[in-house]
């Protein structure tokens, strides 16, 4: 299958309006986390900006399309900002369904102060446009402890309080994955592309892979409007998806170009 990768260098607020209405099947992106990184001094980030981005993502997303929004919060003056929750609620105001709130667990962590636990996760909000996702291929890699056993008929409680019988089933070897996904992170773990670590905030290739196979099909168009080091684009291309990537910083853009063009 022949796929394309369209890489655009510039501000996504300028570039997103060039994307046609309802032309993107899936967005997989990770916006700036408040003021946690400066991104070579290129960071210009505020509530006004992320609201414009979410509005544009709603416009370009096909009905039933999905946006995977990977985000975390800064801690300022002893309080987490809660920006991630504000973004999720605003996405709903734009028309998105909040299909799932997932956790990206990491084996690395940010150092806390003396009265806060180690921070070792980020949020992954799954937004779907207007309806449930048109594509949802659940990963089944959780080994069932009772695999192969036959579960006899039991009763289940209905919403109105009544009961009904459940048919006998044989427990399969693997069950659907839970919505907390854990990955090894840090130098040399998320990718073998050492050049990627010139970017200060990469996420693992496997994370991008798992979302892309869950929420899109071969031949679909995948967007990342905060492309960074190009992880989403690299994996989308490997999985036979068309890709549109946007990145403001020219140095990071070159890294993404190199990774996505890599055979």
- What's the predicted TM-score (pTM) here? 0.86
The answer to whether 24 touches 62, Cβ cutoff 8 Å, is yes
- pLDDT the model gives residue 152: 57
Per CATH, the number for 5-139+178-261 is 3.40.50.150
Q: Alpha helix locations (H) across the chain?
A: 12-15, 47-60, 83-94, 205-215, 231-238, 250-261
Mean of pLDDT values over 138-162 = 78
Sequence-ordered list of residues with C-beta below 8 angstroms from that of 243, at least 6 positions apart, any chain: 3, 4, 5, 6, 221, 222, 223, 224, 232, 233, 236, 237, 260
What DSSP element (H or E) covers 156? strand 154-157
Sequence-ordered list of residues with C-beta below 8 angstroms from that of 13, at least 6 positions apart, any chain: 49, 52, 53, 56
- pLDDT the model gives residue 38: 54
- pLDDT the model gives residue 29: 97
Average model confidence (pLDDT) across the chain = 88
The long-range contacts involving 42-46, CB below 8 angstroms and separated by at least 24 positions, are 42/248, 42/249
Tokens at 218, concatenated: 């071969």
3-state secondary structure of 65: strand
Q: How does pLDDT run across 43-54, given as a tens digit for each residue? A: 677 999 999 999
- pLDDT the model gives residue 246: 98
| pLDDT above 90 (res 263) | no
> How far apart are alpha carbons 262 and 260 in whole angstroms?
5
Least confident among 71-75, 186-190, 204-208: 186-190
| pLDDT above 80 (res 127) | yes
- pLDDT the model gives residue 151: 67
Domain ranges within the chain, ordered by starting residue:
5-139+178-261, 143-176
Q: How does pLDDT run across 103-124, given as a tens digit for each residue? A: 999 887 666 667 888 888 999 9
| pLDDT above 70 (res 191) | yes
Percentage of the chain modeled with pLDDT above 90: 62
Q: How does pLDDT run across 62-106, given as a tens digit for each residue? A: 999 999 999 999 888 889 999 999 999 999 999 999 999 999 998
Cα dihedral: 22, 206, 254, 226 (round 10)? 40
- pLDDT the model gives residue 43: 60
Q: Are strands 96-110 and 180-183 parallel, antiparallel or unpaired?
A: parallel
Q: Are strands 221-224 and 24-29 parallel, antiparallel or unpaired?
A: parallel
Least confident among 18-22, 182-186, 218-222: 182-186
> How far apart are alpha carbons 227 and 91 in whole angstroms?
20
| pLDDT above 70 (res 153) | no
The long-range contacts involving 192-200, CB below 8 angstroms and separated by at least 24 positions, are 193/229, 193/234, 193/259, 193/262, 195/229, 195/255, 195/258, 195/259, 196/229, 196/230, 196/231, 196/255, 196/259, 198/229, 198/251, 198/252, 198/255, 199/228, 199/229, 199/252, 199/255, 200/37, 200/39
């Amino acid at each position: 299958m022949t796929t394309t990768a369209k890489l655009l260098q510039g501000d996504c607020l300028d570039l997103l309006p060039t994307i046609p209405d309802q032309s993107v099947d899936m967005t997989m992106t990770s916006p700036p986390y408040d003021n946690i990184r400066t991104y070579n001094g290129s960071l210009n980030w505020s509530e006004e900006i992320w609201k414009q981005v979410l509005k544009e993502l709603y416009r370009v997303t096909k009905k039933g399309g999905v946006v995977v929004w990977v985000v975390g919060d800064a801690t300022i003056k002893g309080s987490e900002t809660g920006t991630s929750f504000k973004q999720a609620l605003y996405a709903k105001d734009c028309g998105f369904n909040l299909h799932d709130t997932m956790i990206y667990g990491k084996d690395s962590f940010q150092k806390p102060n003396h009265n806060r636990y180690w921070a070792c996760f980020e949020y992954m909000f799954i937004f779907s446009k207007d309806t449930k996702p048109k594509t949802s291929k659940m990963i089944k890699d959780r080994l069932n402890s009772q695999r192969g056993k036959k579960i006899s008929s039991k009763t289940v409680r209905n919403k109105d309080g009544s009961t009904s019988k459940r048919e006998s089933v044989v427990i399969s070897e693997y069950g659907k994955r839970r919505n907390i996904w854990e990955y090894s992170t840090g130098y040399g773990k998320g990718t073998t592309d050492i050049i990627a670590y010139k970017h200060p905030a990469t996420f693992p290739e496997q994370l991008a892979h798992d979302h892309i196979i869950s929420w899109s099909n071969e031949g679909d168009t995948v967007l990342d409007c905060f492309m960074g080091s190009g992880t989403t684009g690299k994996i989308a291309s490997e999985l036979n998806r068309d890709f549109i990537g946007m990145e403001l910083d020219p140095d990071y853009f070159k890294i993404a170009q190199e990774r996505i063009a890599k055979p």
